[in-house]
Each structure stands twice: as C-alpha cells, then as structure tokens.
Structure 1
Amino acid sequence: MTKIRSRKHPAPSHLLVLMAAALPVAAHAQEAEKTLPATTVKADAEVSYKAERSASTKFTQPLVDTPQTIQVIKKEMLQEQGAATLMDALRNTPGITMQLGENGNTSAGDTFQMRGFSTQTSTFVDGIRDLGAVTRDVFNLEQVEVVKGPAGSDIGRGSQSGYINLISKLPQAENINSASLSLGTEDYKRVTADLNRQLAEGVALRLNVMAQDSDVAGRDHVHNKSIGFAPSIAFGLNSPTRFYLYSQHVRQDNVPDGGIPTIGMKGFYNATAEINAGSKVDRENFYGSKHDYEKVDADMVTAKFERDLAGGSTIRNIFRYGRTTMDRVLTGINGITATVSADPSTWTLTGSRQRIDQLNEIVANQTSLNTAFATGSITHELSAGLELMYERQRDYGFCTTKGGTRNNCLVAQTFTAPVLNLYAPNATVNQAVPQKNGAYTDGDTTTAALYAFDTLKLSDEWLLNAGLRFERYRTNTESASVSAAGALVRNANQQAAGNLFSWKVGALYKPASNGSIYAAYAKSLTPPGSGNFALSTTTTNQQNSGMDPQETINIELGTKWELLDKHLSLSAAVYRTDNDKQVSYDVDSASYFQEGKTRVEGIELAAVGQLTNFWQVSAGIAKMKTKQIDQVSNSGVASTGVRWSPELTATLWTSYTLGDLTLGGGSRYVSEQKRVITAGTPLATENMPKIESYWVTDLMAAYKMSKNLNLRLNVYNVFDKEYIAMLNNSGARMNLGAPRTAVLSAELQF
C-alpha cells in the first residue's frame, strides 16, 4: 500500500492541534499493523520522508554523520503536497523567505533568501550552478537538498548562507511508468508523466514531461502557462561503467504580476493624512496591461560518465551546457502617488513600464574521484575533483522616458508613466512596450577549481571531516549606454581576477551508533561581481573590481540522532555566521571602508521520518537573530538588522494511512519580517514598514482506488488567511498569499 501524504506548515501554537487530530488515528495503529501483510509494511518504509544520504558525491558520509545542517526533501513528499515549483518545495524548510523586488522593479523567477542572505544565485542542478530568472518546476526532480551555512568549499564563490541542490531523475534498470492529472480552483490544470523503459540489458530510457495552465489564485488577469520535457538515456546500468545523457527543456508563457498597493493594510503609514486613512484595494485588482508578458526558454544538456575502479573507487566526469532566456514586460507600482480629493474613487497612482531581456549561459565540466584508503590505523573516505566553468549573463537596455535614435527607439516615441485608477485600474488600456535602445551589460566569469573532502575515521567514536577548495576566477564586464543625443557609448571594460581559498573542518563524536555530536567551522569568499558578473565602475560600490572579496565565517554546533530503528531522524544545531568586508561609510573621515559586517545567529530543530509504519512526520523550527555591525550610509544612517529575516519560522507536515485512505495536514509559520532596518527612521512616511506574522494551514486526503490509481485532494490555506507573502523594498506594493484553493489529482501507475 503506497502511502499518500501532503504538507504545508504551522506556527508552533498549531503543532499541538495537528498532533491531537492524529491521536485517534494512532490509537488503531497497532491493530492495523497486525492485520496488514508484511509486503505493505515494506512499501511504506520505501516511501519514507527520511533520506539516508545526500546525492552529492562531495558528502562522503550518511547525513547522521555529516557535521552540517542538510535537509533532503524527497519527491514522494512533494507529490503528496501537490507541489509544482521549487518555491513550493522550499516551504518545507524553516528559515527561507521570498522577496518581491526593488522599489520600481519586480524580481523574476525564484527569489529568496536563507539565514539572512540572498540565495537565488546559489541554486544548483546535480552540483552545477543553475543560472537564469526562471520559476523552477519540480517535475524532473528526485529530491531537493537544502545545505545550510557557508559552503565555499562545496560550490565556490558567493555562498554566505548555503545553497540549494536539485537532483534530477535519471533512467533506472526497470520498467516504471506513472502519470498524474490535476484540476483545481482558479482554472488550475496540470499534467505530468514519468516514463522509464528498459530497452536492453543495462540500457534504459526515461522521459519526464509536464504541462500546466492556470490562473493565479486571488488575482485577475495574472496567468501562468508552462510546458517541460526531460528525456534521458543510460548505458551500462548495474555495471562498472555507466554513461548518462540527459536534458531538460522548459518553456513558460506567463502574464506577470507587479503586485498591488499596500494602502489600507494593517500597519500602513503615509505622510498624507487622507491617503493614510484610505481603504484597501481589491486583492484581485490588476495594475498591468494587456500587453504585459513573460516568456522564458530554459534548456540544459548534460553528459555524465562513471567508472568503478578496483578497491571501491569511482571516477566521474560530468559536462553541461545550459542556456536560459527571459523576456518580460510588466507594469509596476513605484509608490503611492494618489491625488487627494473628496472622492477616493478618483484617486490615481503612477505605474512604471518595466522590461527585462536577459540571457544566461553556462558551460561546465567536473571530474571527480571518490575513494577509500588507510594510513596506519586511520581510514579515509576521500572525494576530490577538478571543476572548469564558464558563466555569462547579458542584460539589454530599453527606452524609458524618452526614446533615442537606435533600434526603433524613435525620438517621436515618448514614454510616459501610466496613470492608473487606484481602486479600479483598467487592464485594457493600451500601453507602449519599451524597445531596445542598444544599451547592454554583458558579464562573464571563468573558473578553474580544485577541491578535496576527506573524512578521517580515528576510531569507532571519533571522525574528522575536512574540505578545501582552491579556485582561480576571472570576471569581465562589457557595457554600453545611450547618450542624451541617442548615440551609443561603449564603456570601458571592467575586469577582476584572483584566487580564492575556501575551507571547512568538522569534528564528530558518536556516543552511539545511531547518533552524533559535532562542531564545525567554515570559511567562504564572495568576490565582486559574483551574483550577475556585472562589475561596477563606482569606486565605492561593493561590486567594484578594486574591492576585496567578502569573507564569511560560520561556526556550528549540533547533534543528529536516528531513532525508532532508524526510521526517524532528529537534529538540532546552533550557529553563528559573520559576513565581513562589506562597504560602509565613516562620517568623521568622509570616506568608505570595507569594515561593515552582518551577523546571523540561530538555532534549528528538525524531525523527519516515521513514527509508526503508517504515521509520517516532517517538522522543523528555526529561531534566528540578525545584526548589522558598522553598516552606515553616507548620510550617517546606521542599519541595525537584515530585511526579510523573521526571528521565528516553523513548518510541519504529518500524515496517517488507514487502509486505502490517507489523511494529512500541516502548517507553516513566519514571524514578523522587518523592512525598515535603519536606526531612528520615522514610520510616518514608510508605507509598510514590516510584514506581519502569519500562519497558514493545509489539509490533504487521498484514497487508493486500486493498485494502479490513487485520488488525492489538497486544500491549501484552509482557513482562508489573508497575509502578505512578499513586499517590495519601498513598502508600497505587495503580493498577498494565495487564498483558499483546492486541487484534485488523479495519479496512475502502469
């Protein structure tokens, strides 16, 4: 009997409610286990939420013996939750929040931060960085691995708080086929298929496909449409020599969302008394245009070779080419500019026409060796490798307030900011599409890196873990701008190059075979231009080539245990992360210096696995405190904290199987998130200075109609909670969390 579960998280005050709801079910657990055949128990164990190891070859030990916080979110749990995107998956781990964007711009694709630092450029697929402003789908994933804490030795530059590693589905030496069809509220339609066929001895073909077409819950006109397919073939399965050739191709055609004004929300502040007293807008209001669009093409092709050598060693080589393009036009909201009048129905606001046309490319080759050996009485498990990588991002410029004379940006074509009715915007109004003016920024980084990770087993109780990475990088930035007269001006090229040495070390003590206590210390480096390869010509900018790399130090103490015959994993960790050498300003000397620092301290607790053969749980809670040290602007204003960094986050999912019926439920909780973090800032003109705390509860029920067909109903935000999911940096606009929605899925195995 395959167990069906779902998930989506709780505030601590709701954990007991969910647990209590499961108690009547638990009372019948013992007798149910006696009456079911042994084969059922085995099947249940096979779909446990708990993972034994990371899929990354850089981690040489099981998770329980790895001195670092790592969470593995398996595809079974994602399927039961009805999760479709990476952001859906990441709701299963505490300490991650999402962002809407800068004042006049809206972020594209997966935009989030973890443990107080931006993390969207630290997303990897099978250990290789995945670039591009794309909303990633989970249809082709075995699991999502969340690795927390600085990880420069793992992945290289720009890893202050960790990284996300997505593990692709690959061919298996058996015939397994499945498909799913989901229909829901808001005209939600989604179909997926996973087809694996063994063609001959050691040869298998696998094809994963996805198509989705849906409105966005609680929003007018906003629409998402995507298709994806991922073919793969493998040779030499179950033999010493294996070769995989696989690719993934995604096309998205969306109507993007610039959000809605925050006027009238609880906690809204504005200097104009009438505006400050204004009522909320309808959450379904769309402030865009019928000409807004977002088109994404994302492709990657990978070849992987593996060879098992004598003595248990394995050598691997993986090559990848990836290319993503994103072209988007939307209407944003720069700020609350309503005209005060006696009749609020005449109030207006000024929008902005935004366009992004971006290209991302990556070419990567990794060669690695995993081996084991002994030096005297000490045994070693070693992972070492060489990585060669080329990464590129190109952004184009567009006509804004006035056109030039290049690339169809005619002087006669004047762009004016659209004026929208605050409470009754009209999406049918014609609005011009910004045209390219010839300006661009084109940056790339080439990297050559050597790394090694070694676990030294000193005795049955003591292990030492060490990792180091040496890399040579070079970043080049070319750019051009358009003068007031319309002439294209090529700017001087910017270059930065250097050597980076990142490392980590951990000591682990095993008081019992099923548990460990550890201490770890790690150092990572983030050079200028790490995020988008765009070096700045401004000498006081953090991305100027003359700046030193930022340094991140992480200290972590933790313990991990496997209980209930290793079916349940418990973990606890306390940590402190310091990100140093940030640019700050000295008012006395009127000069800039790299002595600013961000400090994040916290504790995380997690429980994942089976309480009984029929009762599953995945839970986590994180308490975090952020602090900025010597962070002063040129006006003398000091920053005290980190935006979008809630002190407390929690997530829970639990499910129980009763014969052919599986019931599940869970909640997620996020405490207050501050937007205003500068000392002494008056709130009277700050729009929304913070996101209020919230919790959201989801429920699931599934019924196994036959051995091949399963029906599942997911109800999200079951209490229809209204909350701010994302807020922009000015506090003028927001995206509300989705209202109550429901999705019915039919899952077929054949």
Structure 2
Amino acid sequence: MAAALALALVAPAHAQTSAAASSQQATELDTVEVIGKVDYGYVQKHSTSATKTDTDLNDVPQAVTVITQDLIQDLGVQGMADAVRYVPGIGVTQGEGNRDGLVFRGNSSTADLFIDGMRDDVQYFRDTYNIDRIEAFKGPNAMIFGRGSPGGLLNRVTKVADWDSGREVGLQVGSWDKKRLTADFNQALNDVAAFRVTGVYEDSEGFRDGFELKREGINPTLSLRPGENTLITLGYEYFHDERTADRGIPSYANAFNGTRHPVETDRETFFGDPAGSPTWVDVNAFNALVEHDFGGLLLRNRTRYAEYDKFYQNVFPASVNGAATTVSLSAYNNLTERENLFNQTDLIFSATTASIEHKFMAGAEFGRQVTDNLRRTGRFAVPAQSPCLAGSTATSCLVPLANPTVSVPVTYTNSGSDANNTGVTKIAAVYVQDQIKFSPRWEALVGLRYDRFDVDFQDLRASTSAANRYLSSSDDLLSPRVGLIYKPAENISLYTSYGITYLPRSGEQMASLTASTQSLDPEEYKNYEIGAKWDITPRLGATAALFRLDRSNVAVIDPTDPTNTRMILFSGDSQRTEGVELSLSGEITQAWQMIASYTYQEAEITQDIRTSATSVTPKGTELAQSPKQMVGLWNRYDFSPNWGVGLGAIYRGESYTTTSNLVTLKSYTRYDGAVYYKVNDDIDFQLNVENLFNKKYFPSAHSDTNITTGAPRGYFVSARFRF
C-alpha cells in the first residue's frame, strides 16, 4: 500500500436472462471480483507492525505516526532525518556526519531502526527508494521489537512484489548539482508469481565546500502463491552509500549572555579536510517471508540475513581558543563489520470465550550478531607540516578560525585507548500477546516478552590485561506491555498504557563492555502513557498522547572506591522525559491535505549522577537536543486535477547540544514550499523549495564542538513517469 488501503469489492452478480420475452428463466450466476483502491493520502489506517497482527491503529494503545507514500513523495523525503520533520516527539542528531541519528522522547539513538519489523541497527544513512511507508512508534517497544528503543523507533516497510503491476521511473535535479534516478518495476508474471525491482542511483554535491554524495541500490523481490492460503516473499538488497563525513562547525570558547554559541562563519565553510573525511557503507541483505493460513490460524515466519561493511574517517573541528583566532582539528577513523541473522516465527489466531473476543499472538525470535570494530587515531606531522600552526601536537592541528578548510597528511594508528574488539551477541526470545475485546466499547492489549541476551566480547587491544581480555554478560529481560482502550464511539478511542524496555551494558551498538560493567543489570526504561485517537472523518485523523518516560539502572562511579574505577548501579530513576504530543493528518477537504504536529516535553536528569572520577551531571540538567517545544505543519492544496501547491513550517525550540548544557542551539522556524503539476495519469512534475526564506539555523549537533549548519534555500525538480 502507498498511503492507501486495498479493499476487495465484490461486484454484483450479473444475471443472464433468456431472449424470449415470455421466459424469465434465471441462469447460473457468474461472480466477478473487482479490486479497488481508496487513496487516503496522508492517513494510514492499519499496521501489522505495532502488534504483529493486522490492527486498526485506533486500537493500538500507543502513539504511532505513519509517514505514508504520498507524504514521502510530496515532501521529497529521501532519508530518515527528512522523514521525521512532522512527527511529534522525534528529533535528529548529527550522527558525526556518517549515520542516521534520532532523538526519541529525549533519548538519542543510532540503533533503533527496523525494516519490515526486523532489526537494522548498523550506523549508516538509509534511503527511501525501496520504502512504501515509515512507521514511527513512540515509547518502549520491547514486547514487539526486543531490547532497546527506550523512547521509540522507526520501522521502514518495504515495497515488495504483488499482483498490482506498475512501472515508474523518477528523476530529480536541483541545487548543489543534485542528480538522482529511481526506478520501481512491479510485474505479475502469472497467478502464482510476481516480481518487483526497485533501484536508486545518485551523484550529488552539497552546500558545504568539498561535500560529495554517491548512492546506488537495488532491491529485487519475488512473491509466490503456491497455494490459495500460502504466500512466500523473497528479497535481496544491495545498497552502497558514499559521502563526505561532515562534522559541522565548532562553538566559541567563551559564553555570551550566559551560554556559548556556534561560531560565526559562512554556511559553506568546511572545518577540517573534506578530502580526508570519507565515509561509506555496503549493505547486502537477504529477506524471506513465509505466511500460511490454516483456516483461522495464521503462521508467519520472517528471516533476515545481512552483512554490513561500514567505514568512516574524519578530520574535524574540536575546541576554539579563547581569543577566537584558532580552532583545533582532530582526526580518527573507524571500521565496523557486522553480520546479522534473525528469524521470527509468529502464530496468530482468534477465539471467543463467553462474550469476550480474543486475538492471540505467540511467537519466538532468534538472532546472532557478530561485530568487529577497529578505531584508529589520526596523527599530524607537526610542527614542520603546514598548514598546522605553532602549538599543534601530533593529535591536534591548530588552524586559523578564519580559514579552517585544510588539506593535511594524516597517519592513522591504533593507539592503546582506541577500540579494537570483536563480539558475538546471541538473542533468544519468546512472547505472547492477547488483544481482548470485552464489548464494543472496551478493549485491552496484554503482552509479555522474555529475552535471553548473551554477549561474548573480546578486547584485542595490547594494553588490555589478560584478565580483562575476554568478557561476557548474560541478561534475562522480561518486558511487559499493557494497554486499556475505551471507545465512546466507533471512531474514537481513549487509551492508557504501560511498557518496559531494557538496554544491555554492551550498549546499543554492542561495541563496548568493561570488566566493571559486565555484571551490572541493564538500564531500564518505563513508559506511562494516556492518549486519544479520533477519526474525524475516514480520511482525517487526530491523536493526542500524554506520557512519562523514566530511566533507571544507570552505571555510575562508586563514590567509596578510592581507585575511581568501580561502577555501581545508580539507585532510583535518574532521567525523566514527560510531555504531550498532538497530531492531525489527512484531508481537510477533497482538495486540501494536511499533516500537523505539536510536542511539548521536559527532558532532564532527575538526580546528581557521577559519570567519572571528576565529573558529575547535576540534577536539573536538560537532555541533549530535546527542545521543550516542536511544531510541524504541512499543507497541500490542489487547485485543479493538474495543479497543486504545498507549504510547510517547522519550528524547533531552544535546546542544548549535549548534557553539559554549555552550548545552546537557538530556536528557529523554517518554511518549505512545493508546486505540483500532473500532466496526465502517467506523468507528473514537482518543484520542492526548502528553506524558502533562507533562514540561518542549526538543526542538530554531535557535541559542543560539532554543530550542523542548516542548508540555505535549495530548489529540487522531480519528475515521475509511469508506464
């Protein structure tokens, strides 16, 4: 489905009558099945990801936002940061210029990304060329998706072969030498088999000096119906993304009006060496889905095997001196290789006990992840090597703040403190869920998941002692999910829910485990939520959610340890995000579509936390890049069947770059626009203009000295050809 629901409509039987006027004999009726589609534009009504069953989103006791195919096309969404512009409760981080980085209800993550419900957790930039829609789930989701995702996650639903044949080619050109080609060919071969292939090729530059981007991907899928009740879908994806790792600009060393700010510089200025900052990823993934309906009992099995090769290297800005005349550059590179294998089996069936209806789901998931990680520090040839100024060191190259773009030789070596490890993670989980309908007005969702999470970790650094070289940890994770729904009317649902998720000590990327933390319990996140969902019309929906998310089991330095190395669990909750999320999406009129979102949140540290021997994060510290208010509004209005326009605005309130709370990202409002022209059913064009009024702003950061500059006004012309 592309922002639509497929409805099977049975045509009325066509009665055949005798040609004789006096004879009214009825012949045997022929049944003709007509398949129709109702386009809901920016509204998605159902999801199989939220509960692993086909469920109306109004019956899911959780805040969910779906970025539909129509919205993806109208906004020109090509990455995850673009996708969440109008999603309440989700922001973006810089990701060091080499990966998707998102902030879910105050919690930053690079791993809570899924594809067709399967974990896709390596750090890289994802594309939308093969994506039908993107589902944003808020709050803990461990019952369905497993560990992690404390504040939420994104699940991409791919385009797969079906029996609705169609072919489409897309072209895009625009500012900064943008050149992009996409293709989507879907063909029914016969009643048993259908084939589809999607692809992308892009060769572009960017508004930042020296930035380059190249992408190529192909994703063929084959669907088979060997029997009336069986569906098999097989797919393979190759994806390559190669670009310049851009770490943005630094901040001033001195505070102004009580806080520090990004340095004043041209938006195009690259700090560091763009030629010496390449990043690339190769993804090879195989997916298989098998579904069989035994007549009221559905068996579903999914398998995903994926290999990831990810490399990034960067020469990037660090601190600016007090006189604001020089900036220090640092350098390092990192290679990650990961092999993921996951298998999920779900059994779904319905039953009635007395007058109570049940939809049961029981399943199991098994996974194995092998990760190799190597980091190397960059060393500059100083003091003789230009352009490093006097005062530079082997790991710190000073350059003029007024001229920070350099080309400098760097030697990369694995130092004693650089990561060099390999790890094997094994996951075994079982889960059960019951969707209960007590009456037309009362429903409940109850689920429980048990995960066995084992990590075997080998630290390969020469400086690591033999006793700490081989580490392991095992966690038994029990993740409940409970929700109660009251429906005062068929189109309105009021809900309350509670859920728990855990983050093991090896971290979201499973790249770190220490002797002092391996025996500690995982971090725990609890989410309390009440909300409402209202289908104002079948094509327009509104949602509201009031939530509180608490974090506990934080590892801190033991204050009684004289060596300042022993870690203990922090007693009680240490972090809390609470707030409200509102959204409205769909058709206001037949010609006017809208998506609107509003977030108010308070995200802060709730008790003093000692994070090192000399550092304490005090109570009241605001969480990084979590503005109190976020607003998004996008409108599309069609003046005629051929012409339409779009206008949107994004507001982000003031926030801090990190939990140091030393550097402020000012609030901003950015406006975007679009013009749409449909030549006929097979050809259409659109012009997207981003940052209409050329606002200078800073949308995200990675640290106090790595701040992303927002792009200036950009123009992008797209064309789609269907045949």
* TM-score, with length taken from structure 2: 0.87
Q: Which residue of 1 aligns with 2:684?
A: 710
Cα pair distance change 1:47/1:568, threshold 3 Å: closer
Letter in 2 for 1:563: I
Are 1:216 and 1:223, in contact at CA under 8 Å, matched by a contact in 2? yes
Cα pair distance change 1:741/1:267, threshold 3 Å: farther
Distance 1:726 1:3 in 2: 29
Q: CA deviation at 1:55?
A: 3.3
Letter in 2 for 1:468: L
Q: Indicate which of 593, 597, 610 corresponds to 1:620.
A: 597
Are 1:125 and 1:167, in contact at CA under 8 Å, matched by a contact in 2? yes
Deviations 1:283-311 (A, max 9, x none): 21223332331121112110111111112
Distance 2:65 2:598 in 1: 13
Cα pair distance change 1:399/1:715, threshold 3 Å: closer
Task: Report how many aligned residue pairs link the two structures.
Answer: 667
Alignment of structure 1 residues 561-572 onto 2, 5 Å: 561-564=534-537, 566-572=538-544
Are 1:131 and 1:362, in contact at CA under 8 Å, matched by a contact in 2? no
1:642 and 2:655 are equivalent in the alignment: no
Are 2:333 and 2:378, in contact at CA under 8 Å, matched by a contact in 1? no
1:598 and 2:572 are equivalent in the alignment: no
Q: Indicate which of 316, 321, 326 corresponds to 2:300.
A: 316
Q: Indicate which of 480, 484, 487 corresponds to 1:507.
A: 484
Cα pair distance change 1:100/1:175, threshold 3 Å: closer
Q: Helix, strand or coil: the match of 1:236? A: strand
Q: Indicate which of 459, 467, 489 corresponds to 2:439.
A: 459
Are 2:422 and 2:457, in contact at CA under 8 Å, matched by a contact in 1? yes
Q: Which residue of 2 aligns with 1:37?
A: none
Are 2:378 and 2:410, in contact at CA under 8 Å, matched by a contact in 1? no
Are 2:625 and 2:700, in contact at CA under 8 Å, matched by a contact in 1? no
Q: Helix, strand or coil: the match of 2:553? A: strand
Q: Which residue of 2 aligns with 1:234?
A: 223
Q: Which residue of 2 aligns with 1:327?
A: 311
Alignment of structure 1 residues 23-42 onto 2, 5 Å: none
Letter in 2 for 1:647: K
Q: Helix, strand or coil: the match of 2:72? A: helix
Q: Which residue of 1 aligns with 2:47?
A: 54
Are 1:576 and 1:601, in contact at CA under 8 Å, matched by a contact in 2? yes
Q: Which residue of 2 aligns with 1:243?
A: 232
Q: Which residue of 2 aligns with 1:664?
A: 646
Q: Helix, strand or coil: the match of 1:434? A: strand
Are 1:480 and 1:490, in contact at CA under 8 Å, matched by a contact in 2? no
Q: Helix, strand or coil: the match of 2:533? A: strand
Q: Which residue of 1 aligns with 2:667?
A: 693
Q: Which has the higher mean CA deviation after the structures are superposed, 600-609 or 259-268?
A: 259-268
Q: Which residue of 2 aligns with 1:255?
A: 244
Q: Helix, strand or coil: the match of 2:518? A: coil
Letter in 2 for 1:69: A
Q: CA deviation at 1:94?
A: 2.1
Distance 1:495 1:201 in 2: 51
Q: Indicate which of 627, 634, 644 corresponds to 1:653.
A: 634
Cα pair distance change 1:554/1:305, threshold 3 Å: same
Q: Which residue of 2 aligns with 1:108?
A: 98
Letter in 1 for 2:290: F
Are 1:69 and 1:148, in contact at CA under 8 Å, matched by a contact in 2? yes
Q: Which residue of 1 aligns with 2:398?
A: 419
Q: Indicate which of 271, 285, 291 corresponds to 1:306.
A: 291
Q: Helix, strand or coil: the match of 2:288? A: strand
Q: Which residue of 2 aligns with 1:370?
A: 348
Q: Helix, strand or coil: the match of 1:655? A: strand
Are 1:152 and 1:523, in contact at CA under 8 Å, matched by a contact in 2? yes
1:557 and 2:542 are equivalent in the alignment: no
Q: Helix, strand or coil: the match of 1:368? A: strand
Distance 1:356 1:628 in 2: 31
Distance 1:421 1:744 in 2: 38
Q: Helix, strand or coil: the match of 2:368? A: strand
Q: CA deviation at 1:98?
A: 2.0
Letter in 1 for 2:360: L
Q: Which residue of 1 aligns with 2:359?
A: 381
Q: CA deviation at 1:443?
A: 2.0
Cα pair distance change 1:489/1:549, threshold 3 Å: closer
Q: Which residue of 1 aligns with 2:71?
A: 77
Are 2:370 and 2:422, in contact at CA under 8 Å, matched by a contact in 1? yes
Cα pair distance change 1:733/1:179, threshold 3 Å: same
The answer for unaligned runs of 5 or more in structure 2 is: 5-34, 382-392
Alignment of structure 1 residues 406-485 onto 2, 5 Å: 415-427=394-406, 429-435=407-413, 440-483=420-463
Q: CA deviation at 1:716?
A: 0.3
Distance 1:392 1:127 in 2: 20
Q: Helix, strand or coil: the match of 2:461? A: strand
Q: Indicate which of 548, 571, 591 corresponds to 2:521.
A: 548
Q: Helix, strand or coil: the match of 2:71? A: helix
Q: CA deviation at 1:422?
A: 1.6
1:353 and 2:338 are equivalent in the alignment: no
Deviations 1:21-59 (A, max 9, x none): xxxxxxxxxxxxxxxxxxxxx999515110111132525
**Percent identical:** 28
Deviations 1:212-242 (A, max 9, x none): 111122x110111111111111111893111
Q: Which residue of 1 aligns with 2:84?
A: 90
Cα pair distance change 1:712/1:207, threshold 3 Å: same
Distance 1:237 1:54 in 2: 25
Distance 1:510 1:488 in 2: 61
Q: CA deviation at 1:264?
A: 9.9
Distance 1:637 1:198 in 2: 59
Distance 1:676 1:303 in 2: 41
Cα pair distance change 1:500/1:107, threshold 3 Å: farther
Alignment of structure 1 residues 262-301 onto 2, 5 Å: 262-263=251-252, 267=256, 280-289=264-273, 290-301=275-286
Are 1:480 and 1:489, in contact at CA under 8 Å, matched by a contact in 2? no
Distance 1:45 1:700 in 2: 25
Q: Indicate which of 678, 687, 701 corresponds to 1:727.
A: 701
Letter in 2 for 1:423: A
Q: Which residue of 2 aligns with 1:497?
A: 474
More helix by share: 1
Q: Helix, strand or coil: the match of 1:77? A: helix
Q: CA deviation at 1:204?
A: 0.8
Letter in 1 for 2:67: I
More strand by share: 2
Cα pair distance change 1:694/1:97, threshold 3 Å: same
Cα pair distance change 1:585/1:279, threshold 3 Å: closer
Deviations 1:82-122 (A, max 9, x none): 11112111112022222236xxxx36310121101123211
Q: Which residue of 2 aligns with 1:196?
A: 186
Are 2:250 and 2:707, in contact at CA under 8 Å, matched by a contact in 1? yes
Letter in 2 for 1:610: E
Distance 1:531 1:396 in 2: 17
Q: Which residue of 1 aligns with 2:27?
A: none
1:392 and 2:370 are equivalent in the alignment: yes
Letter in 2 for 1:211: Y
Are 2:670 and 2:691, in contact at CA under 8 Å, matched by a contact in 1? yes
Alignment of structure 1 residues 674-685 onto 2, 5 Å: 674-675=656-657, 677=659
Cα pair distance change 1:334/1:93, threshold 3 Å: same
Are 2:602 and 2:628, in contact at CA under 8 Å, matched by a contact in 1? yes
The answer for unaligned runs of 5 or more in structure 1 is: 5-41, 404-413
Are 2:272 and 2:317, in contact at CA under 8 Å, matched by a contact in 1? no
Letter in 2 for 1:141: I
Distance 2:257 2:285 in 1: 44
Deviations 1:519-540 (A, max 9, x none): 111122222114122343252x
Q: Which residue of 2 aligns with 1:12?
A: none
Higher relative contact order (CA 8 A, sep 6+): 1
